[in-house]
């Protein structure tokens, strides 16, 4: 019953001589919000690309709800229930917000009327209702991020991969986004998010995996991971953990 929704099993990815992901294994349980963090260049986006089907792993496999999806194309994974947003937003610029979201909804419904109703519904969930008939190109960065989210949600996913959905947002926009993300989980969608905005990771994620230089170096609840010396070193450099400890002791 508590079978993991997503099982990443010994995944490695090499680009020629460069090893981007090294034997990474972790699971994501249904109904949770899991975070994937790590310094830049750690391999998070590559991992996301592998999970969503845009890249093939050199080794290892991906299992979704017990089914091996390693060789499935992105659209097939979307049909199974894996949706993703993109780090650099990719709106359908020439279409309206409604039409954008509709593309996602068309995955599950064929009737135009039904699809447009669904699009309006989803737009409401992310707060884009007033912009429904405006062209996607007219949206601000924050608006486009919500559109990314809305489109992915319209596909009625079971697992939602959020790739730095908060990047480029100012603090008040971030504050507005967090309850939206939380409401997504309440609707029954499992979330795996790559994120740099630590406050979001802290407040949203129940469980966090830390990736550094292609390998998983730590995992656990956010508060524990934040104190893990290995994690501190990964972000702040070699010896930082012990330096911080000494500094802490000196001030005590």
Partner 1 sequence: MNQVSWTAILGVAAALAAMPIVMTSNVALNFVTFAGIITIAAQGWNILAGYGGQFSFGHAAFFGTGAYAMALLQVRFGVNAWVALPIAIGLGGLVGGLVGLLSFRARLRGSYFALVTLAFAEVFRILANAWTFTGGAAGVLVPLQVGTANMQFADKRMLYWFVLLFVVGGLCLTHMVSRSRFGAQLVAVRENEDAARALGVDTLAVKLKAIVLSAAITATAGSLYAQKFLYLDATIAYGPWISVDALLAPIVGGIGTVFGPLLGAVVLLGFGEVTKTILGNLTGGAIPGIDLVLYGVLLILTVAYAPRGILGLLQGRSSARHGGNP
Site for partner 1 in 147-206 (CB under 8 A): 151-152, 154-155
Q: Which residues pair with 243 in a beta bridge?
A: none
Query: What is the x/- site pattern for partner 1, positions 51-70, by CB under 8 A?
Result: -x-x----------------
Determine, following the binding rule CB under 8 A, whether residue 207 of this chain makes contact with partner 1: no
Of the candidates 1, 8, 14, the residue with the CA atom closest to the CA atom of residue 161: 8
CB of 166 closer than 8 Å to CB of 200: yes
Determine, following the binding rule CB under 8 A, whether residue 27 of this chain makes contact with partner 1: no
Interface residue with partner 1 among 22, 134, 158, 182 (CB under 8 A) is 134
Alpha-carbon dihedral sign for residues 15, 53, 214, 246: positive
Other Cβ atoms within 10 Å of 195 Cβ, number: 22
Return the structure tokens found at 215: 């390998």
Of the candidates 126, 178, 183, 187, the residue with the CA atom closest to the CA atom of residue 151: 126
- How many Cα neighbours within 13 Å face the side chain of 118? 24
Determine, following the binding rule CB under 8 A, whether residue 135 of this chain makes contact with partner 1: yes
Interface residue with partner 1 among 17, 40, 130, 133 (CB under 8 A) is 133
Determine, following the binding rule CB under 8 A, whether residue 94 of this chain makes contact with partner 1: yes
**Which range of residues in 6-14, 91-99, 170-178, 225-233 is near partner 1 by CB under 8 A?**
91-99
By CB under 8 A, name the binding residues for partner 1. Answer: 52, 54, 73-76, 78-79, 83-84, 86, 90-96, 99, 102-104, 106-107, 110, 112, 115, 133-135, 138, 151-152, 154-155
């Amino acid at each position: 019953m508590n079978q993991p929704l997503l099982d990443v099993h010994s995944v490695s990815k090499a680009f020629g001589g460069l090893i981007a992901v090294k034997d990474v294994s972790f699971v994501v349980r249904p109904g949770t919000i899991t975070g994937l963090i790590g310094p830049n260049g750690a391999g998070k986006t590559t991992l996301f690309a592998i999970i969503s089907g845009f890249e093939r792993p050199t080794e290892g496999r991906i299992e979704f709800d017990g089914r091996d999806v390693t060789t499935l194309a992105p659209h097939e994974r979307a049909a199974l229930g894996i949706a993703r947003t993109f780090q650099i937003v990719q709106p359908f610029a020439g279409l309206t917000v409604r039409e954008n979201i509709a593309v996602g909804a068309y995955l599950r419904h064929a009737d135009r009327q039904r699809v447009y109703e669904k699009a309006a519904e989803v737009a409401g969930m992310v707060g884009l209702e007033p912009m429904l008939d405006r062209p996607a190109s007219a949206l601000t960065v924050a608006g486009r991020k919500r559109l990314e989210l809305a489109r992915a949600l319209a596909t009625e996913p079971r697992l939602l991969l959020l790739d730095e959905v908060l990047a480029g947002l100012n603090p008040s926009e971030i504050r507005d986004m967090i309850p939206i993300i939380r409401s997504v989980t309440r609707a029954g969608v499992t979330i795996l998010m790559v994120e740099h905005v630590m406050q979001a990771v802290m407040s949203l994620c129940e469980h966090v995996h830390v990736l550094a230089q292609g390998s998983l170096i730590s995992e656990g609840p956010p508060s524990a991971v934040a104190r893990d010396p290995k994690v501190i070193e990964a972000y702040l450099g070699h010896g930082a953990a012990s330096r911080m400890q000494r500094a802490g002791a000196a001030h005590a």
